[in-house]
Structure 1
């Protein structure tokens, strides 16, 4: 939204600049909202005299095509480089000129604002292809918000520009702080301009050109080291501890957090309620189908009088399914991303031992089983 406001105001003052240049070419007197300072009057008179000389040269040398093109180039260059933008800001415009400026603003700025708004809303609308109702609702809501923001920009913001031109600009021109202290303001602006020019157009280009090979080598080495650190060693991995560590573990500040903290019951209870490492639950046998209506979350559909859709292809008595679940738990136990998997795996092994007590292994099967491994029955009814 802030970018759109800047675009609208920039287009507005660009159209105002065109009216200023047109008035100079047609030798029409330009009125201002407030009294010009001495420097602004000199600038205005210099622009007026320069425009008059350009017009006279065009009338005198209109038969010389080459010279005429040179004059037009110089004229456009002069018009594009306005040395005192306050003249444009303080220029008074009538209703007809405002209509002309508004047409130009909507023709240039509204198109660019629409492109940015449309692409952003389209990105949110792509969430509608999701099978989760709340994700669909979020994408629809955000996409409509972006389009509504575009309508507000081309209506409310543009209307505010007109109000600003008719009310705020005259007040700023008459009672502005900078108009009462023009010398101080001009001195500050000239100093800042010189500093900006020295830094960005003199010193920085010289440093870059002089040390270009050093910069190329230095940043290339940094990029290679960054790739090695992220992808090779020590790699970019999530933290293994939920506590922040600022010093080494043997430092007195860290000894309490990592050694003495667990000796106090209050901290133990606090850690149990800590949601930094939330409980992660895996659910099997359910289809990833959301029965909630995307536009009416209170309305839910049912399948076979159930609020969820079960996967009827999964048979938890099937040996392949049991083998896969056992492998899945072992992989979780070996992973560094999960903690306390041992309890879940021990419960799974307990179930396996119970099954081993009631179910005999198929002697005709060629498959071999480790005694420490979870026993998978070959058939359900054996």
Structure 2
């Protein structure tokens, strides 16, 4: 995984009055909503006996472990050990890693890393959406959903921004395999304080020929469809389709559960048929896109994206994917790559993603039970 990034990991409306488990790159986080309405993100492992805090409860401004009732505050410090006498001090190491967290555009974004605030990349700004906890844009109707892949998230994310696959993989819906040529396009790259914030491109795609009854009532000469796609590092893709009847925007967070499983959490917005009666159809049409992609993405080899650009052949229409691979290599060169634990490693020893608390306070430098990924304690 690439650390020191804002990952979109869950829908905000799915985090209510009970703790929620979010697995990212093989590491379990617990998300819970505080009494003030904000969402907290912490390591899911209780430092006492490794209990899952997501199986516990929210008690006041604490998350309580279901095993022995230990309560952890919003900063990760243990505030109560029920089995201890009231006069016994709570050990300094009784604390869990806490990660910066913000709710925006309908997603919960968690900063997984230990950088100080002034050095962090910004939270992505999703094009056309209001800066609100919910996914909002004037004149749009929004729905959400998710789709699970048996595939690595790099492959899933690249597929989402691949323009040239549309005429073939999606020929049964909105692609036109009789006109597969992709026009030349320019990349629009945005950087903020030196960090890559987004990469997008816009092309004109030829719509497919209408089928069934539509071929008798549709115009013979249908205009090209202006389509924009791109990504917001590290794990969100964007698709904007401008149809004659209106516009569709789909923002998808590819949440890497581990090296082999990815969950796409999508927010689809539309400017037409904005009544609730059309939500089911909009959801089904979005899922259909994923289902068309699934066999191809899950069948790619090697399963993991190669680090060497020369390991696969690239052409001009692959520009967005190449931009993603260059960004990934930039982060690796900074030393921000962390190994995702294998199933066997996770069974034998616990390790967590480093949090800002480990570097921000010198007094807490040694106040941790679990090591961070890759940390040598020998």
**TM-score of the two chains, using structure 1 as the length reference:** 0.18
Q: Which has the higher strand share?
A: 2
- Greater RCO structure (CA 8 Å; 6+ sep): 2
Q: Which has the higher helix share?
A: 1
